[in-house]
Structure 1
Amino acid sequence: MYPIIALSISGLLTLFLGFLDNKKLVFPISILFLVIALGVSFVDWNAPGLYFSEMMAINNETIIFGAIILVSAILILCLSEGFNDIEFSQPAEYFALVQLSLVGALMMISFENLLMLFLGIEILSIGLYVLTGADKRNLRGNEAAIKYFLMGAFATGILLFGIAMFYGAVGSFNIHVSVIDDTYMPFFWIGCTLILIGLTFKISAAPFHFWSPDVYEGAPTIFTAYMATVVKTAGFVAIFKVLYSSFSTITEFWTPMIVIMVGASLIIGNVFAVTQDSFKRLMAYSSVSHAGFMLLALLGDNENALGTIMFYSVAYSLATITAFGVLMKVSKHRIEKGRPYEKNDLFEGLIKNNGFLTGVLAIALLSLAGIPLTAGFWGKFFVFRDAAASGNFVLIVIAVLMSAVAVYYYFKPIILSMKKTEGVETVILSPLVKLILALTTCGTIVLGIFPNLIRSIF
C-alpha cells in the first residue's frame, strides 16, 4: 500500500524535476524515490490488510514480490546512469514513467478485484508503450512501439471481455467469489479463457509471444531489460492469483490450456532462439522459453508454486539484468548506421580487453541455461520437482530436451567472447555500473550455492 502511494507521489514530483537547470540531479533523486518506496513497503510486514474497499490486499507475499520488482527496477535504472547512453531531451519524463508504471506492477500483485487488476495492467502497459519508443531517432523503435501498442490494446480488450464474462457468471469482480449456478458455467469458462489469454500476452508466453522479438529489439536496451524482468514477475503473480483464486474450482478446464502453452513456449522459444543473430532477439525468445518454465510451475503443487515462481523470478531477473547490462555498455562502443550494434558477434574477442564483462556475461548466460552452481539451475530444479510431484512427466521430458537446446544458443555469445581475436576496445565502466553488475553476478552465484536463502521464505 505504502509503496504505491510513495511512487504515485514521487512520479509526479519527478516530472517537475525536469524544470531544473541541472538535469544530473534527476537521476540520484529518482533512485532515492525508488529506495524510499522499497523501504516503506516493509511497514506492512506481518500486518496484512485490505485497502480501497477490499479491492487490494497487502500481506507478506505481496511485500516480497513487490520488493523483487522494486529492486529489479533500481538495478536497471542504476545501469542507465541517468539515460546518458541515449540523447534524451527530458530524462525526468522517463524516470517518472518508470515510477508510475511500477504502480501498475504493484497493483498486479496485490489485487483482490479484477477491476484493480485491469487498472494495474493498463497503468503498467501505457508507460511501457511510451518507453519502447523513447528513442525517437530510431525508426525500428518507433515501429516496435506501435506494434506493442496495437497488439497490447487487442490483448487488453480480450482481457476486459473475459472480466465481463466472469462478472456475468458470478455477479462480482471479487477474485474469491465462486460460481454458484451451473446455468452460468459457460460464461465462467469463457471468462477464464479470455482472462488467461490477456495475461499470458503480457508475459510473452506462446502462442501470444509474437510481439516480443520485435519489441525487445526495437526498444532501448535499458527498457528491454525492464519489461523482461518487472513485467514478467508481476504477470506471473497475477496469473497465479487468478487461476488459484477465481478459477480454482475448474482446474480441470484450464489445466489443458496451460499444458499447451508450456509445450509451445518451450519448443518455440528455444528452437527459434537458435537461429537468431541478434542478441536482443535471442533474449526475447529466451524470455518465451522461461515463460514456459514458469507456467510449468503452476501445474505443480499449489502450496509450492508461489515459492517456486518467487525463486525463479529472482534468478531470471538477476541473470537478465546482467546480460542486458553488458550488452548496453559494450554495444555503444560499436556504432553502425548511427545505432549501437547489438548482434551476437559484438562480443567476439571481448575477453581480450574486458575480462570483467566477459566473466559476468558468461555467468549470466550459464544461469539462464540452468547450469549447476547458478541460481538458474535451482530455479529449473524446483520447477521440475513440483511438476514431477503432480505427474507432468511428458512436459518435464520436453523441458529437459529444450534445456539442452538452450545450452547451444546461450553458449554462442560465451564462445565468441572467449575467442583470441581483436575484440572490443576497453570499455570504461563507472564505479556504479561495476557495482551493479558485481551484485547481480554475486547474487546469481550465491543463490546457486545456497538456494534456501530465499526459497525457505514460502
Structure 2
Amino acid sequence: MTAIIALSLLGILNLFLGFWLSRKTIQAATLLFLAGSMALTALDWNHELLWYGHMFHTTNTSISFSLIIQLAAFMVVSFSKGFGIDEEHTHPAEYYAILLFSVVGAILMVSFDHLIMFFVGLEILSVAMYVLTGSDKRNLRSNEAALKYFLMGSFATGILLFGITLVYGATRSFYLANIAVAIANTPPESTPVFLSIGVLLILVGFLFKISAAPFHFWTPDVYEGAPTIFTMFMSTVVKAASFAALYQLLSGPFGTMYGTWVYPIYYISMLTLLVGNITAVYQQSAKRMLAYSSISHAGYMLLTVSANQASTPSTILYYSLSYTLATIVAFGVVMLVAEYQTGRTEKPENFSSFEGLAKQNPGLAFCFTIALLSLAGIPLTAGFWGKFFVFSDIFNRHVYYPVILAIVMSAVGVYYYFKGIIAIYFKEGDIERIELPGLVKFAMWACTLGTLLLGVYPSIVKNLF
C-alpha cells in the first residue's frame, strides 16, 4: 500500500519536475521513483495486510505481481530514449507521470478485495492507456488507435460494470469474501440466473482487456498505431494485471461456480490460440506479428486459469514474468530498428527492415533472437518452462483437447517467430551500427539474461509460494 501512495505522490511530483529539470533528468528521476516503489513493495513480503476497510489486501501473491508490473514499467522507461528529442511536440514529464499513475491502477487490480476497488484500478489503468495510445498527435495511426481503443474499451467496461451490478444484486456485497460465502450458501439448483449472467459478463469484460478472441479485434490496430514504447507497456503491464485479477475472481468468490465459467473459457482459449497463431503467420509487419502473438499468449494463460490448480498462481506469475521480459526486448528491438529505418524504407516495421541486422549489431540481434525463442517456447529459455507449466496444469485436470491444440499451435508459433531470426541472420541487408544509450543497453541485456536465467533455473520464481 505504501508503494501506491508513493507512486501517486511521485506522479504528481513528476509533473512539477517538468518545469525545473531537463528532459533527460526527468527520465532518471522516474527510474529512481520506480526503484523506490519496488523497494517499498518488497518490504511488505510475508506481511498480509488489509487496507481501506478491507478493500485492499496485500499478500505475497499480490506483491509478486506488483513487482512484475513495476519491473516492466522500469524497463519501459529505460527504453524511452526518444522522449524529449522533439521539444515542441513531446512532453516527457506528463508521459512519465501518466505511466506512474497507470502502475498505481495495475497494482490496485492485483491487490483488490472489493469489486469497487478493482473497478477503480481498472479505470485508472485504462484511461492512462487511452491517453498514451494517442500521444503521438501528429500520427493519424496513433489517433485512430486511441479512438478505437477508447470506444471499444468503454463498451467493454460498461459490460463488466453491468456484470458487477448483477453480482451485487445476487449477493448484496462487493467484498470478495462475502460474495464467496453468499454463493457457497446457495444450493446450485437455486443459483439465480442473473448471478450466472453477471459472472459471464464480468468474464467478457476481462476477455477484452486480455485480447482474447473473439474480443481481440482492437488489438492489432491499437498495438500497431500506438507509439511502440507504449505498445510495449500495454502488452506487458495490462496483461499481467488483468490475468492476476481474473484469477483472483475466478478462484475466489466464483470458485464454487466452476461449472458455469470453465467451459466458456476452454472454448475461448482454444479459439484465441487458433486466431492468434494462424493470423500471425501471415503478418509482414513485426509489430503486428507481435500483436497477434500477444493474443495467442492470452490463450495459453487462459488455459492455466481454467485449470484452477494449486500451482496455478505460481504458473501465472512465472508466465507473466517470462512473457514480460521477452516482449520488452522484442518490442524494444522493433522500435530501435524502425527508428533507424524511418526514411530509408517505406515500411520500417516490416521483417524486411531487419535483414542483415546481425552483421553490424550482433548484440542487438542476439537479444532479439533470445526474445523470439522464449516467446516460441524453445528450451533453455523462460518461455519453454512457462508453456510447460501451463500444459501441466491443464493436463492434471484430465482435459486433453485444449492441451493437444496448444501444443500444435506452439509449433505454428515457431514458424512465425523464426521469420525474424531468419531475416537478421540469413538475409542480406545494409543496416549500419545502431548506437544505443547506456540505459537501453542495460534494459535489453537485463531482460535477456533474465530470460536465460529463468530458462535454466525456473524454480527461482516457481517456488516463491
Q: Which residue of 2 aligns with 1:175?
A: 176
The count of residues paired between Structure 1 and Structure 2 equals 458
* SS state at 2:79 partner: helix
1:90 is aligned to 91
1:372 matched residue in structure 2: 379
Residue 113 (structure 1) aligns with: 114
* Alignment RMSD (CA, Å): 1.5
Inter-partner Cα distance in structure 2 for 1:133 and 1:112: 32
> In the aligned structure 2, how far is the partner of 1:294 from the partner of 1:277?
26
Against the structure 1 CA distance between its residues 434 and 21, is the aligned structure 2 distance closer, same or farther, given a 3 Å change threshold? Answer: closer
Match of 2:130 in 1: 129
**Would you say the 8 A contact 1:46–1:60 is kept in 2?**
yes
Aligned to 1:79: 79
1:172 and 1:235, CA in 2 relative to 1: closer, same or farther beyond 3 A? same
2:405 corresponds to which of 387, 398, 405: 398
Tell me the residue number matched to 1:425.
432
Identity of matched residues, %: 49
Shift of 1:277: 0.8
Amino acid aligned to 1:45: W
Q: Distance in 2 between matches of 1:259 and 1:72?
A: 29
Tell me by how many angstroms 1:43 deviates: 2.3
* TM-fit CA distance, 1:152: 0.3
Q: Letter of the aligned partner of 2:25 in structure 1?
A: L
> Aligned pair in 2 of structure 1 residues 169, 388: CA closer, same or farther (>3 Å)?
same
Q: CA deviation at 1:24?
A: 2.4
Secondary structure at the residue paired with 2:36? helix
TM-score between the two structures when normalised by the length of structure 2 = 0.96
What is the distance in 2 between the residues matched to 1:139 and 1:82? 19
Contact in 1 for aligned 2:23/2:84 (Cα 8 Å): no
Q: Does 1:349 align with 2:350?
A: no
The equivalent of 2:102 in structure 1 is 101
- After TM superposition, give the deviation of residue 425 of structure 1 in Å: 1.5
Counterpart of 1:191 in structure 2 is 198
> What displacement does 1:418 show?
0.8
User: Secondary structure at 2:57's aligned position in 1?
Assistant: strand
Instruction: Return the offset for 1:140.
Output: 0.3
Q: 2:23 — aligned with what?
A: 23
Name the counterpart of 1:311.
Answer: 318
Following the alignment from structure 1 to structure 2, what is the Cα–Cα distance between the partners of residues 348 and 34?
36
Quick check: 2:83–2:90 contact (8 Å CA) kept in 1? no
- Deviation digits for residues 199-221 of structure 1, max 9, x if unmatched? 11111111111111000000001
Deviations 1:178-199 (A, max 9, x none): 3245655212101100100101
Offset from partner CA, 1:393-427 (integer Å, 9 cap, x none): 10000001101110110000110111351331210
- Paired with 1:15 and 1:199, the residues of 2 have a C-alpha distance of 31
Q: Deviations over 1:105-148 (max 9, x none)?
A: 00000001111111110000000000001111110000000000
- Give the stretch that moved more between structures: 346-355 or 123-132: 346-355
SS of structure 2 residue aligned to 1:50: strand
Q: Which residue of the partner structure matches residue 143 of structure 1?
A: 144
Partner SS for 1:295: helix
Structure 1 CA distance, aligned partners of 2:34 and 2:321?
Answer: 18
1:227 matches 2:234:
yes
| Alignment partners' CA distance in 1, 2:264 and 2:13 | 44
Q: What is the 5 A alignment of 1:245-394?
A: 245-336=252-343, 341-394=348-401
Is the contact made by 1:334 and 1:341 (CA closer than 8 Å) also made in structure 2?
yes
Alignment of 1:404-415 (within 5 A): 404-415=411-422
Deviation at 1:69, TM superposition (A): 0.6
Q: What is the Cα deviation at residue 349 of structure 1?
A: 1.0
Structure 1: state its 5+ residue gaps. none
- 1:28 and 1:340 map into 2 onto residues whose CA distance is 32
Structure 2 Cα separation of the partners of residues 366 and 64 of structure 1:
25
| Alignment check: 8 A CA contact 2:345 2:353 kept | no
* Counterpart Cα distance in 1 of 2:379 and 2:23: 44
Give the secondary structure class of the aligned counterpart of 2:211.
coil
* Corresponding letter in the other structure for 1:106: I
Q: How many angstroms apart in 1 are the aligned matches of 2:164 and 2:251?
A: 16
Query: How far 1:301 moved relative to its partner?
Result: 4.5
Q: Which moved more, 1:193-202 or 1:298-307?
A: 298-307
Q: Please report how far the alpha carbon of residue 302 of structure 1 lies from its aligned counterpart in structure 2 after TM superposition.
A: 2.3
The residue type paired with residue 145 of structure 2 is A
CA distance in 2, matches of 1:420, 1:9: 50
Residue type of the alignment partner of 1:185: P
Unaligned runs of 5+ in 2: none
Q: Which moved more, 1:110-119 or 1:42-51?
A: 42-51
Deviation (angstroms), 1:247: 0.8
Correspondence for 1:68: 68
The 3 A distance-change label for structure 1 pair 203 and 258 is same
Secondary structure of 2:123's partner?
A: helix
1:35-59 residue CA offsets vs partner (Å, 9 max, x unmatched): 1111111222211111111111001
2:322 and 2:285 mapped to 1: Cα distance?
23
User: Aligned residue for 1:210?
Assistant: 217
Q: 1:258 to 1:402 in 2, by over 3 A?
A: same
Partners of 2:186 and 2:85 in 1: CA distance:
58
Q: Is the 8 A contact 1:333 1:340 kept in 2?
A: no
Q: Does the CA contact (< 8 Å) of 2:212 and 2:298 recur in 1?
A: yes
User: Which segment drifts farther, 414-423 or 52-61?
Assistant: 414-423
| Deviation of 1:340 (Å) | 7.5
Question: 1:1-28: CA deviations, max 9, x gaps?
Answer: 0111011100111111121262322111
SS in 1 for 2:138: coil
Alignment-derived partner of residue 51 in structure 1: 51
